[in-house]
Amino acid sequence: MLRGLYTAASGLTANQRRHDTLTNNIANMNTPGFKQVTPVARSFPEMLIALTQGEDAKSIGRINTGVFIEESLPLFTQGDLIETANSGDLAIVSNIRVAEEVDGELVEIPFDESGKGVNQDGDIVYQPQAFFTLQNEAGEERYTRIGKFMVNGEGELVTLNGDRLIGRDEQPISFEGASIAGLPPEVEQPNVISLDQVRVGADGSMYDAGTGLPIVDAAGNPIALRIAQVDNPNRLIREGSGNYRLDNPEDNPPEQVPNLAQISIEQGFIERSNVDATQSMIDLMAAQRAYEANQRMVQYYDRSLEKAVNEIGRL
């Protein structure tokens, strides 16, 4: 009897966590760049039940001992774009494809809506995703799809949380001392270029909005965004505020997207969250009903134990 009580209690905990995850998804429907999280449930190890009579044992079968939420996986599908007309808002449109060699020819691996595919060997392959590269206060590399940026007092391009945006030279992007390449020497240039003067190309390169000439840093190098390609986005760990990190970045650190034709940077747009509101509400109601069913089972076992203790014990 207690085994059933523990099973129902584990169902309560699992559905509570599932409910919390779905509620968080719905609460972030309007959060730019938010990626929907899917809870993954798994059963506890099964137990072999046997009937023992003296030295003989007869196998009855296996019994499951409960369920738990093993992990919560983000869904890194592309979100819709919303136009803001703000020069500091950037959105990544990503469709990175993976090809493998089959009989001497390159064949693209098809991915489903969740970004998962299977190669010719039957191995699961995940669609690589592109991210803005950030540097936090501790100097650690982070990744995000929230493209809302501004220029701080030091002329650096930062997020709303103060994390610095990294350029293709793997250094924080700074407009202090930057200039417009190709202008005649007699043309006076500002000390700090404002975002309203910057036009970001589809490949992440930055140009002067008026002349179309490249913007270079104080060392004379063209300024461009570093868009990191994460081959397996499921390696990413959420840190909050839309930032992700890698558990072991030294093993396989993400590099700049090699084929820039497979991504596009859209200036004046932000990426919406990819939360499916309708499906999330359906899953939320299902989790609530499953929670109530497990709750009734716990109440049933509680009444049975009460009867066993208070009534049967008197006999």
* pLDDT single digits (tens) 35-91: 998 887 777 666 666 666 666 667 777 766 677 676 788 889 899 999 998 999 999
pLDDT at 12 over 90: no
Closest CA to 18 of 235, 274, 280: 280
What is the total residue count of the chain?
315
Tokens encoding 308: 């066993």
82-124 pLDDT, tens per residue? 999 899 999 999 999 988 888 888 888 899 888 888 888 888 8
- The pTM assigned to this predicted structure is 0.82
Which residue is listed with tokens 């808002």? 89
Task: Give per-residue burial for 165-200: e unless 16+ CB within 10 Å, then b.
Answer: bbbbeeebbbbeebbbbeeeeeeeeeeebebebbbb
pLDDT in tens, 229-246: 999 898 888 888 889 998
